[in-house]
Amino acid sequence: MNWESKRMKRELEGLSGTIRDRTLVLSPNHEMVFPDGYPFKPPTLLINKKDHCNYLCKLYSNYDSFVRKYHIPLECNCNQTITAQWTPCYMGKHVWNEYNSYLQQLKQVASLQVAVKGLPFDDLVFTNICSYL
């Protein structure tokens, strides 16, 4: 077993899925593709066959004005992802965990946006609530 095979086997320890060639299938909609040169080049997480950074940026754009209005400490993660600062000590599970963490933050923002539209409070109240995120 060569070092690449060993590294791919280690990837499965932190994630549940199956490996096909250099692709880790995490679910029907989520795949992680490991490029030639991995672990020196980052894997690409695909959501519905689209790069996860593009997917999250598009999702973030739906909430951008709301985030700014209420001073929510959340930014688009396009240039701040782990893949942009990749080193061989990272693994696919780090990319997956970062994606899930950011997705949870976006879901919280979406819930807050629904609350703002549905509750009769002043903007100052929501600004204070959002400061705790």
Contacts of 27 (CB under 8 A, 6+ apart): 17
Question: 105 in helix, strand or coil?
Answer: helix
- pLDDT tens for each residue of 7-54: 777 777 778 888 888 888 999 999 999 998 888 899 999 999 998 888
- pLDDT tens for each residue of 80-92: 778 888 998 898 8
Among the ranges given (50-59, 72-81, 84-93, 100-109), the one the predictor scored with the smallest mean pLDDT: 72-81
- How much of the chain exceeds pLDDT 70, in percent? 95
Whole-prediction pTM: 0.81
Number of helices followed by number of strands (H, E) in the chain: 5, 5
Our measurement of the distance from residue 84's CA atom to the centroid of its chain's CA atoms, rounded to an integer in Å, reads 13
pLDDT of residue 79: 64
Instruction: Walk across the sheet containing 18-20 and list its strands.
Output: 18-20, 23-27, 30-33, 44-47, 50-51
Mean pLDDT value across residues 115-120: 81
pLDDT of residue 45: 92
**Residue 1 or 23, more confident:** 23
DSSP assignment, residue 37?
T
Q: Where are the domains of the chain?
A: 3-130
